[in-house]
Amino acid sequence: MSAPTTATGTALRGALREPALIVLEDGLVMRASAYAATGRTVGEVVFSTGMTGYQETFTDPSYHRQIVVMTAPHIGNTGVNDEDPESGKVWVAGVVVRDAARRASSWRAERELEDELADQGVVGVCDVDTRALTRHLRERGVMRAGIFSGAALPAGAEHLTDQAVEVLLDIVRQAPQMAGADLAREVSTPATYVVEPTGDFAGKDPVATVVAVDLGIKSRTPAQLAARGVRVHVVPQSTSLAELLALAPDGVFFSNGPGDPEAATHEVELLRGVLDARLPFFGICFGNQLLGRALGYGTYKLAYGHRGVNQPILDRTTGKVEITAHNHGFAVDAPTDAPSLAPFDGGRYGHVEVSHVNLNDDVVEGLRALDLPAFSVQYHPEAASGPHDAEHLFDRFVRMIDEHRAGDAHPTTDAPRTTEAHRTTDAPRTTDAHRTTDESENS
């Protein structure tokens, strides 16, 4: 999935916009107008249902190699600033919007969104019926797509001639698929850095030391831990177990990130070393999928994934429903009706329960080890962007560390576990998606 071949400088707006096309691998072609940089980009086209927080979305490394369709119709009205980005650059492969704001209207805006995208060479389109495109992706599933504008449009493309469309389809269909993609190494920090305690804990001894493995981490995640008095060592994806243990962590965190968890063999082996060391573990998003694979469960690709800031999740530990922020196209395949023995190595890691489920489709949204100090969730409790309902999970992690140091072998809970498992639907969760088994890791 390639970067743009050409790019403009300052974005063109209104009547000056050039024609553009968005082409999906199943043959759907939609006319559009050039937005941000012009040129060519390809990637997996996905949709995000968030009505706000586009700056956090575009700078989230988890969207690496993805073209993001914003379902909210008006994008860019709050501009961009230097406080809200989740990393040092825009990571999305492309942007699709319906109505591009002519100018920002917010006291916090420092620059225009379109100019920011153009300056970073991000190819996009506007004047697209994003509702129709989203419905198409919901029915057909996410797939590879390309955006073409400016010099990247072949002769005859404006008339959608068969020859021009075939040329563009060939480009799209030659792009790598997301299934099997090992991408965390492409977005991870090149060197370790430390985030010291902040707020009331600034300048004081940390309450704990946590090693956060950067698989595409968002800046607000270590900030959440630092605000609770934790010193966070953010380390590269390639970190070895010996290097991790040399930092003498009280706990280990695995972040969100892009790609297929089945391809992340190094990260899974690293996590197994953490579990063997009985270190308290907390993972989110990609980290949840990696915990599932480390425990011996499979993962599978969702038809169109969960992306946005409005997903209802049942926390089966507390019985509460929380509205949460998501960005994932893969999920863990684990039993939801009752705790199960983790399959890896004949049950080496004991029993595990599915702690969270998505109330829209019963997808596994969290795991909790019953015999180890380890838990994970599939969504984003750091709320960047999104609701703050799940920020308490960082408190849960800190309590787990405290209890582990105090000699309590059982992971912390906020309330007794529910005795009746959440109802699961009779229909398979993966009717039009592929599962990936874990047979090679169980051997």
Q: Looking at the structure, tell me whether residues 159 and 240 fall in a common domain.
A: no
Q: Which residues are catalytic?
A: 285, 380, 382
- Residues 28, 79 within the same domain: yes
Residues 188, 48 within the same domain:
no
Residue carrying structure tokens 């994003």: 130
At 133, give phi and psi (nearest 5°).
-65, -40
Q: Do 150 and 216 have their domain in common?
A: no
- Residues 343-374 pLDDT 10s: 999 999 999 999 999 999 999 999 999 999 99
Note whether 95 and 124 are within 8 A (CB).
Answer: yes
How many whole angstroms separate alpha carbon 309 and alpha carbon 52? Answer: 9
pLDDT cut 70: percent of the chain above it: 88
Q: Report how far residue 63's alpha carbon sits from residue 55's, in angstroms, rounded to the nearest whole number.
A: 12
Do 194 and 162 belong together in one domain?
no
Could you tell me if 231 and 168 lie in one domain?
no
Give the span between the Cα atoms of 312 and 154, in whole angstroms: 44
Considering the domain architecture, whether residues 32 and 74 belong to the same structural domain is answered as yes
CA distance 162 to 27: 11
What pairing do the DSSP bridges indicate for beta strands 208-213 and 40-48? unpaired
Number of independent structural domains in the chain: 2
Interatomic CA distance for residues 367 and 292, integer angstroms: 8
Q: What angle do CA 353, 358, 359 make, to 5 degrees?
A: 120
Give the end of a domain, one of 145, 173, 201: 173
Residue 258 lies in a domain: yes
| CA distance from start to end of the chain | 33
- Region 305-313: mean pLDDT is 92
**pLDDT single digits (tens) 396-435:** 999 999 999 998 655 444 543 333 333 333 333 433 333 3
**Residue pLDDT, tens place only, 152-187:** 999 888 889 999 999 999 999 999 999 999 999 999
Binding positions for L-glutamine: 62, 257, 259, 286, 289, 327, 329-330
Residue numbering of the annotated binding site: 62, 257, 259, 286, 289, 327, 329-330
Give the H/E segment covering residue 365: strand 364-369
Tell me the pLDDT band of 14, cut-offs 50, 70 and 90: low
Q: What is the pLDDT of residue 387?
A: 85
Judge whether 30 lies within some domain. yes
Q: Which pLDDT value is given to residue 13?
A: 55
Looking at residue 50, its pLDDT comes to 85
97: CATH: 3.50.30.20
| Residues spanned by the domain of 161 | 14-173
